Every structure is written in C-alpha cells, then in structure tokens.
Structure 1
Amino acid sequence: MGDTITTAKALNLQLLPGYQETKPVVFCGLYPVEADDYNELTITLEKLSLNDSSFHYEPETSNALGFGFRLGFLGLLHMEIVQERLEREFGLRLVTTTPNVAFKVVTEGGETLYIENPAKLPTEEDIVSIAEPFIRASLVTPTEFIGDLMKLCENRRGDYIEMEYIDPERVILSYYLPLSEIMVDFYDQLKSLSRGYASLDYDLADYRPSEMVKLDILVNGDEVDALSTIVHKDKAYRMGTGLVSKLKKLIPRQMFEVVIQAKAQGRIISRANVKPLRKHVTAKCYGGDVTRKRKLLERQKEGKKRMKMVGKVEIPQEAFMSVLTVGRD
C-alpha cells in the first residue's frame, strides 16, 4: 500500500504520499444496558470494524456502568452514524457517555499525555498545563443573522478571524473555536438562530493552552466516573449547578437520603438532597404517651442512617446523557 505506479517515460514524476492511519478526534464511552450483552457488543464491534476501520475502540471499566468500551471517531457525524448502526443493525441497547475530545496534558515529570477519558486526568498537583484542540470554523449565513451567529461563537469561546461577503446577501464568518464547544448542540443552535439557512464547515487547527478543570459528580460521597467531564474553568460552576439540579429530578427517591454534589478544583461547588421516602411508623399509635411516637421516629431515623451507609443508589440511564443539555446556553 502506498506504491506509485506510472509509465517508464514519466521521469519527473512526484511520488504520491503514502498511507497514513486515521486518528480519532472525538471519544465517548459505550456500555451495554444489560451486563450479559458485553460479549455480544465485543463481537459486534469486531464485525463493524471490518467495514469501517476509521473508528477505534478499546475495553474500559466504569464503577457506575461496569464493563464497556472507549470509542474514538473522526468527528461528531461519524460518532452518530456508528451509534445508529450498532442500535439499528445489531439491535443492541446501549448507554453512551458524554462525548469528549483528547486534551494534551503536560505533567510535572515532563511527560506529555493525551487524555480522552476524564477519569484518567492526573491530579491538579501533577499538571503543568492543559491544551485543547481548536478548529477553524466557516459559517455561511444570510447577512441578517450575522449578529446572532457572532454572539453564539463568542459564547462558545470563539476567536474571530474574518468575515467575507460572497454576495450582498450572504457572508462567510470565520472563527477559531474549541472543538469541545461544538460537540453537543452547536449545530442545532446554529440552525435555530438562522431559521435553517446557515451551514457549518470546519477543519482541525491546533492545540491551544486553556484553563480546563475536571468536574466530578458525587452521589452519597462516591464519585460517579461516568458523569465526570473536563470543562473550562469559567463554566465549571454553571455546569456543576445545572447538572446537580437535573440529577435531583432524575434520581428516584430511596428509603434513605441521597446527597448529590458537584466538585471542581478540590472543592464542592454545588449540592442537592433527594429526600427519603418515609414510612408512617406511628400510624398504629392511637393516643397514649407522646414519648412512644418519638421513640418510633428516632428508631426509624437510626435505621435510615444505617441504610444510607450500605445502600446503593440506582442511577437511571438518562442521567449519563444529562451532561449534554447542561450549561450550553
């Protein structure tokens, strides 16, 4: 592969460049809904890779979701196509974690790491710098939507490059944008603000230093690694509070109190409590000394404390994709 074939008379021929293996730029975790389907998912990925060698996969384990795979894709559209094929063609029921990009991390020891899984990010004390991939985006839009689209790009930490008029009614807006900022709903916002007329094209530019932090979610003190994400420092608080608020609605009430917390830069930035279900233990106390009712309630309270220490909180599947709809204003 990579040989250039020509005629004997072509003496000044320039050789064609050789074959280069594709490199993924977008990553996400993929887990079977039922743990028993892990082997089937393994076989399915092997089959799919035979006719699509551009996506990469490797096994990984999550404390919250069990055994699964970390997949790498060429872009967002490629990720959506592979997910759709796995579900439609092979009939798999899957849980997909938040898509991530690969961050370039330089450690205190001088080592350069490419981190696509937030759970593998070194501690803050071991990090010298973090750089994230940027793209050069070209937005073709009617002139009447220029202001709204420029505001959208600036809200996504975009750097303005230039504006070129195609004709009196259409223009090309060029911006440098962090790849992580267009991962989720940027295209939907683009179409909404332009009433469907604007289009987006982009190419990878380079890595640029950014103030990125790891945002962790804790449920009853235990870190849920599948909900961890890497965000910009300025957006950590808003995203943390939004995610905690959404999880409070999604996690069902238990027989014990459930505490949901968001943590960034070593401190808790948001907290919410899911109130416990309460059994009416005093229902059969018809009158009598009030101290008897108090003893029953105190006994119930102690029981809930013990239950909280050993009880396991079941987190619904919707919670793992709730990161996608938070903090993207």
Structure 2
Amino acid sequence: LPGFKEIHPMVFSGVYPINAADYEHLKLNLAKLQLNDSAFVYQPESSVALGFGFRCGFLGLLHMEIVQERLRREYGMDIIATYPSVVYRVKLRNGEMKEIENPAHMPEPNHIEEIHEPVVRAFIICPNEYIGDMMTLVSEKRGSIENTETLDTRRVMMTCILPLNEILIDFHDRIKSITRGYGSMDYEPAGYQVSDMVKLEMLVNGEPVDAFSCIVHRNKAEARGRALAAKLKEVIPRQQFAVAIQAAIGGKIVARETVSAFRKDVTAKCYGGDITRKRKLLEKQKEGKKRMKAIGSVRIPQEAFIEVLKA
C-alpha cells in the first residue's frame, strides 16, 4: 500500500522456557501474542546453555516488558530472558553492510571496518534541583545534551542524544531514583552513529559460552567482564581441578576469576617420618590434577545460567 511502512523491531532478547518440556507450549503462546500484536516478531534459536528457545524482537523496552509479563501472567509460562540487545550495523572491509542483533553472529574483528550503533533522542523532564545529577547520568551513559528548556518555575526538560544500548536496563530506574520519583523520560529513534563497540566473550575453562556474550563499548568492556566473571565464580560448582573464568575481547583477556579446586589431603596418613614421602604424594597429586584439567570439561548447571541472567 502507498505510504505503508513495515514496522522493524529495535530491541531483541532471547526467551527460553526454564523447563525444556514447555518449548511447544511457549511456541504456541508466542503465536497467539503475534496475532494481536503485529510489531512483535520471533524466530526459533538454540543455545548450548539454555536449550531451545526463541529470538524475539520488540519495538522498545516497554513493549519487551509487556510481552514478557503477558507470557508469565496470562499464559502461566516460566521463562528466562537473555540480556537485551539492539540492532548494530557492521560495515565489513569488503564494503558489505550487515545488521547484527545477536552477539553470536558478530564477524571476526579483523573483518570489521566500523560498527554503527542505534541512538535515540531522549526528552528528560526533572525538577530544577536535580539537573546536575541528571547531566552526570547522561554523561555516564555516553550521551550528549542538545538543549535544556525551562518548562516552569520548578521543572526543566533536557533533550539528549543517547545510545539505545545504554538505556536498555536501568536508565529509567536511575532517573526515578535520582529525582525521587519526579523525573520522567520519553524517547524517539534518531538514526545510527559510528562507535567503538566490541564483542565481549566469556570463557569457562577456555571454552566460549554464547549465553553470556554481549556487544559493549570498549571503554565499558573491562568493567562488565569483571562483573560477569565475579558473578560466574559464585555460581559455578567447584571441580577436582581449578576452573578459569575469563572475559575476552577478540583474543585479549581483560578479566579473570578462578574457581579453586577441591583438594584431598593425601598426606593425612603420613604420621611423622621423612618429609620426602609427603613431597612425593603431593607431586603425584599435582600431576594427576594437571592431567585431569587437560581432559576434563566443566558442565555449567542451568541454574547457574538463570542466576546470572536474572542478575
């Protein structure tokens, strides 16, 4: 039809049933939601960690929250949602332009010329006394302020340009917290801008875990990697060998935590005697753990994934 434009999703998130047996039930309920919501799109995807689920596209944050709440309340689904992401435009060295909404599909760094991230024009209304704190928040989220307008004697409206990726999780909550509930925000798409974005991968015992991959700005990658590694250290069960948890950008490790190994006291039966006997037993144990680490694999329980994604 003339003048008709197809709606394109701006925010993507993986939705998985906590119980794998509910996959078909989830598929049916997503189809029902799509019947009365043409802006909602989904397609099947699978994850080594979370099993079979769906990659869902939403118009924005509110739309995403409404769909997830409807699945839980109206259809009684017990679901887990992955970290939301946006659609990046990746320009390759051969001139080709790709749209990437899943970090797992990001090309290798040596093939990338530049990455464009979506930005929004946000309109933030807050009381006069909180304008300094709001400016700090916008700066922290890599935003810039275009204009400040006085609405009345008590309120101002700031017009800002912000990366969509930065307002996905806690931005609205931070506004409410800073302004004691008096602040509000509205936003509209404002195109794309070139940014120094990188793919952050989490490695457990040297193996990448796709469920925790994300695309972040280079300046924030190390802090996010450290936070994820620390959280994973809390939830991954101890093994008979030390387990390394690493955050990597390309081939460079930017953060690391180690889950210490169980240690059997092999010298418990040595009462006194020559110290060389104890040393031999400890060396033997050390060699055994080295062999075990070389051939052993770490199975991360699904509860650990759910714990980290909920955090």
Q: TM-score, normalised by structure 2?
A: 0.92
Cα shift at 1:158: 0.8
CA gap 1:304/1:153 in 2 versus in 1, 3 angstroms: same
Residue in 1 aligned with 2:81?
96
Check whether the contact 2:11–2:58 (CA below 8 A) recurs between aligned residues.
yes
Stretch of structure 1 that moved more, 193-202 or 67-76: 67-76
Cα shift at 1:139: 0.5
Q: Could you list the runs of 5+ residues in structure 1 that have no partner in the other structure?
A: 3-16, 323-329
The match for 1:106 among 91, 107, 120 is 91
Task: Please list, as runs of the form range in 1=range in 2, the aligned pairs for 1:299-314 lying within 5 A after superposition.
Answer: 299-308=284-293, 309-314=295-300
- The number of residue pairs the alignment matches comes to 307
Stretch of structure 1 that moved more, 231-240 or 196-205: 231-240
For the residues of structure 2 that align with 1:255 and 1:41, how far apart are their CA atoms?
38
Residue in 2 aligned with 1:212?
197
Task: Please list, as runs of the form range in 1=range in 2, the aligned pairs for 1:60-209 lying within 5 A after superposition.
Answer: 60-209=45-194
Q: Percent identity?
A: 53
Stretch of structure 1 that moved more, 202-211 or 259-268: 259-268
Which letter does structure 2 place at the counterpart of 1:45? L
SS at match of 2:33: helix
CA gap 1:289/1:235 in 2 versus in 1, 3 angstroms: same
For the residues of structure 1 that align with 2:24 and 2:268, how far apart are their CA atoms?
50
Matched, 1:258 2:247: no
For the residues of structure 1 that align with 2:309 and 2:173, how far apart are their CA atoms?
20
Residue in 2 aligned with 1:10?
none
Cα shift at 1:284: 3.9
Matched, 1:319 2:308: yes
For the residues of structure 1 that align with 2:37 and 2:220, how far apart are their CA atoms?
36
CA gap 1:290/1:94 in 2 versus in 1, 3 angstroms: farther
For the residues of structure 1 that align with 2:51 and 2:241, how far apart are their CA atoms?
24
Check whether the contact 2:10–2:58 (CA below 8 A) recurs between aligned residues.
yes
Deviations, residues 113-148 of structure 1 (Å, cap 9, x unaligned)? 110101101111111111011100001111011000
For the residues of structure 1 that align with 2:195 and 2:157, how far apart are their CA atoms?
27
Greater C-alpha Rg: 1
SS at match of 1:160: strand
SS at match of 2:151: strand
Deviations, residues 220-266 of structure 1 (Å, cap 9, x unaligned)? 00001111111111111222222222222232322221101111143
Task: Please list, as runs of the form range in 1=range in 2, the aligned pairs for 1:260-275 lying within 5 A after superposition.
Answer: 260-275=245-260
Which letter does structure 2 place at the counterpart of 1:319? V
Q: CA-atom RMSD, angstroms?
A: 1.9
Cα shift at 1:321: 4.1
CA gap 1:86/1:284 in 2 versus in 1, 3 angstroms: farther
Stretch of structure 1 that moved more, 186-195 or 293-302: 293-302
Deviations, residues 87-107 of structure 1 (Å, cap 9, x unaligned)? 223233222211000001111
For the residues of structure 2 that align with 1:275 and 1:96, how far apart are their CA atoms?
30
Cα shift at 1:287: 4.3
Cα shift at 1:267: 0.7
Cα shift at 1:296: 3.8
CA gap 1:134/1:300 in 2 versus in 1, 3 angstroms: same
Which letter does structure 1 place at the counterpart of 2:148? M
Check whether the contact 2:17–2:80 (CA below 8 A) recurs between aligned residues.
yes
The match for 1:36 among 9, 21, 44 is 21
Check whether the contact 2:205–2:297 (CA below 8 A) recurs between aligned residues.
no
Q: Could you list the runs of 5+ residues in structure 2 that have no partner in the other structure?
A: none
